[in-house]
Amino acid sequence: MSIPTGRALLDPYAVLLTTGLDLNMHYADFGAGTLGHFVFAASDFVGPKGQVYAVDILKSVLESIQNRARAEQLTHITTVWGDCERKKGVKIPPQSLDLVSMINFFPLVHAGTPVLSEVSRLLKSGGKLLVVDWKPGNESFGPVSQKRLDQKKIQSQIEQSGFRLLKTFVAGPYHWGMVFIKS
């Protein structure tokens, strides 16, 4: 059996389609990752007059994304070194984002950290939060079962932070997804 990678594992275009991301919107991907799968897909959705922020705490990740964006002449992609586990740890203008995504990121959110309040601070009124993570099972690759979080517990935690669930969806063969709106 070959291990799926890239869009076969998780298709950012299909996932972002569920959020209503559209031309001229402003989007941030928390924990963008070296390849910036969601960053570059989002840049197609928002177009050159929109804005995409790749947020990560690892400068090497941001450098990789910045190099690709420069090579592809995507001037509407901005890399942001940020620690979303700190209050005001992400240097994006407050209430400026239409959508924030956290893809395979929620296990890094520890109880008591201000990640969700940081998301709320950055989202416009009516802005959305996209959360995608690993389904339980299928552990031949991906994180071990102890690191796969219960979707209902995550939903509850996000709702307690002032968000309302808009929809749940199957994000691919190995992932679940949820879209919330800032209340």
The per-residue pLDDT of the chain, averaged, comes to 89
Domain ranges within the chain, ordered by starting residue: 6-170
Residues 67-113: pLDDT tens digits?
Answer: 999 999 999 999 999 988 888 999 999 999 999 999 988 766 655 66
- CA dist., res. 18 & res. 123, Å (int): 18
pTM confidence score: 0.91
Architecture of the domain defined by 6-170: 3-Layer(aba) Sandwich (3.40)
Residues 102-157: pLDDT tens digits?
Answer: 998 876 665 566 899 999 999 999 999 999 998 887 666 766 766 677 889 889 98
Q: What is the per-residue pLDDT for 140?
A: 66
- The stretch 169-178 carries a mean pLDDT of 92
- CA dist., res. 15 & res. 20, Å (int): 10
